[in-house]
Structure 1
Amino acid sequence: MNERDLAQFIITDIFETGAYNNIILSKTLSKENLSSEKRAFVTELVNGTLRRLITIDYVLSLFSKTKKEKMRPFILNTLRVAIYQILFMPTVPDSAACNEAVKNTKAHRFERLSGFVNGVLRNISRQKDNIDYTGATAAQTFSRRYSVPEFVVGYWLESKTEKETEQLCASLCEYPRIYIRVNTLKTSAKELKQRLIAENVTVCDTIVPEVLEISKTGNIAELSSFKEGLFFVSDLAACLVTHITDVKPGQTVADLCAAPGGKSFSLAMKMQNKGKIYSCDIYEHKTELIEKGAKRLGIDIIEPTISDACVTNEDLKADVVLIDAPCSGLGLLKRKPDIAFNRNREDIDTLAALQRKILEASIPLVKDGGKIVYSTCTISKKENGDNVEYIRKKYGLKAVHFSLPGKGENCGEAEILPGDYSNDGFYVAVLEKV
Structure 2
Amino acid sequence: MTNGINTRELILEILLEIEEEGRHSHIAIRNALSKYQFLPRQERAFITRVCEGTLEYRILIDYIIDSYSKVTVDKMKPAIREILRSGVYQIKFMDSVPDSAVCNEAVKLAQRKGFYNLKPFVNGVLRTIAREYKNLELPSREQDLVRFLSVKYSMPENLVNRWLEAYGEEKTEMILAEFLKEKPVTVRCRIHKYPQEEIYRSLTEQGVKVTPAPYLSYAYEISDYNHILALDAFIQGKIQVQDVSSMLVAEVADPKKGDYIIDMCAAPGGKSLHVGDKMGDYGTVDARDVSQQKVDLIEENINRLDSINVQARVMDATVFDVDSELKADIVLADVPCSGYGVIGKKPEIKYRVTPQKQEEIVILQRTILDRAAEYVKPGGVLVFSTCTIAKEENEENMMWFMNNHPFKLESLDPFLPQELHSETTALGYLQLLPGVHKTDGFFIAKFRRK
Structure-2-length-normalised TM-score: 0.91
User: How far apart, in 1, do the equivalents of 2:277 and 2:437 lie?
Assistant: 23
2:60 to 55, 59, 68: 55
Given that 2:194 and 2:238 are in contact with CA atoms closer than 8 Å, whether structure 1 keeps it comes out as yes
1:42 maps to 2:47 = yes
Match of 1:431 in 2: 447
1:163 maps to 2:170 = yes
Given that 1:324 and 1:374 are in contact with CA atoms closer than 8 Å, whether structure 2 keeps it comes out as yes
Bigger shift: 350-359 or 421-430?
421-430
Match of 1:78 in 2: 83
Bigger shift: 122-131 or 265-274?
122-131
User: How far apart, in 2, do the equivalents of 1:420 and 1:266 lie?
Assistant: 25
Match of 1:65 in 2: 70
1:376 to 380, 386, 400: 386
Q: Judging changes above 3 Å, is the alpha-carbon distance between structure 1 residues 237 and 91 closer, same or farther for their aligned structure 2 residues?
A: farther
The offset of 1:364, in angstroms, is: 1.9
1:294 maps to 2:299 = no
1:339 maps to 2:349 = yes
Match of 1:21 in 2: 25
Given that 1:180 and 1:214 are in contact with CA atoms closer than 8 Å, whether structure 2 keeps it comes out as yes
1:408 maps to 2:421 = yes
Letter in structure 2 aligned against 1:9: E
Letter in structure 2 aligned against 1:150: E
Structure-1-length-normalised TM-score: 0.95
Cα deviation per residue 1:148-193 (whole Å; 9 max; x = unaligned)?
Answer: 1221112222212122212211111112210111122431322211
1:359 maps to 2:369 = yes
User: How far apart, in 2, do the equivalents of 1:107 and 1:309 lie?
Assistant: 48
Given that 1:182 and 1:211 are in contact with CA atoms closer than 8 Å, whether structure 2 keeps it comes out as yes
1:307 maps to 2:310 = no
- 1:94-113 matches, cutoff 5 A: 94-108=99-113, 110-113=115-118
Cα deviation per residue 1:254-292 (whole Å; 9 max; x = unaligned)?
Answer: 111101101001111111111111101121232232122
2:153 to 113, 130, 146: 146
1:187 maps to 2:194 = yes
State the percentage of identical aligned residues.
37
User: How far apart, in 1, do the equivalents of 2:238 and 2:400 lie?
Assistant: 41
- 1:243-262 matches, cutoff 5 A: 243-262=251-270
Cα deviation per residue 1:379-427 (whole Å; 9 max; x = unaligned)?
Answer: 1000000000111132242211113332224121111112244432111
Secondary structure, counterpart of 1:179 in structure 2? strand
Match of 1:31 in 2: 35
User: How far apart, in 1, do the equivalents of 2:81 and 2:56 lie?
Assistant: 16
Given that 1:5 and 1:78 are in contact with CA atoms closer than 8 Å, whether structure 2 keeps it comes out as no
Secondary structure, counterpart of 1:305 in structure 2? strand
1:285 maps to 2:293 = yes
Given that 2:212 and 2:220 are in contact with CA atoms closer than 8 Å, whether structure 1 keeps it comes out as yes
Cα deviation per residue 1:233-262 (whole Å; 9 max; x = unaligned)?
Answer: 112221122233211111111111101101
User: How far apart, in 1, do the equivalents of 2:374 and 2:382 lie?
Assistant: 11
Bigger shift: 318-327 or 11-20?
11-20
The offset of 1:93, in angstroms, is: 3.5
Given that 2:202 and 2:232 are in contact with CA atoms closer than 8 Å, whether structure 1 keeps it comes out as no
**Gap runs ≥5 in structure 2:** none
Match of 2:272 in 1: 264
**Gap runs ≥5 in structure 1:** none
Q: Judging changes above 3 Å, is the alpha-carbon distance between structure 1 residues 25 and 327 closer, same or farther for their aligned structure 2 residues?
A: same
The offset of 1:131, in angstroms, is: 2.5
Bigger shift: 1-10 or 59-68?
1-10
Match of 1:235 in 2: 243
2:409 to 399, 406, 416: 399
Bigger shift: 7-16 or 352-361?
7-16
1:219 maps to 2:212 = no
Given that 1:349 and 1:382 are in contact with CA atoms closer than 8 Å, whether structure 2 keeps it comes out as no
Given that 2:171 and 2:436 are in contact with CA atoms closer than 8 Å, whether structure 1 keeps it comes out as no
User: How far apart, in 2, do the equivalents of 1:318 and 1:2 lie?
Assistant: 54
Cα deviation per residue 1:21-45 (whole Å; 9 max; x = unaligned)?
Answer: 2222222223333111111110111
Given that 1:245 and 1:373 are in contact with CA atoms closer than 8 Å, whether structure 2 keeps it comes out as yes
Given that 2:174 and 2:436 are in contact with CA atoms closer than 8 Å, whether structure 1 keeps it comes out as no
Alignment root-mean-square deviation, CA:
1.9
Secondary structure, counterpart of 1:418 in structure 2? coil
Given that 2:203 and 2:232 are in contact with CA atoms closer than 8 Å, whether structure 1 keeps it comes out as no
User: How far apart, in 1, do the equivalents of 2:14 and 2:210 lie?
Assistant: 30
Match of 1:11 in 2: 15
User: How far apart, in 2, do the equivalents of 1:245 and 1:183 lie?
Assistant: 17
Given that 2:252 and 2:446 are in contact with CA atoms closer than 8 Å, whether structure 1 keeps it comes out as no
Match of 2:359 in 1: 349
Match of 1:117 in 2: 122
User: How far apart, in 2, do the equivalents of 1:345 and 1:153 lie?
Assistant: 14
Cα deviation per residue 1:188-214 (whole Å; 9 max; x = unaligned)?
Answer: 322211110011111111121121110
Secondary structure, counterpart of 1:181 in structure 2? strand
The offset of 1:65, in angstroms, is: 0.7
Number of matched pairs:
434
Bigger shift: 192-201 or 300-309?
300-309
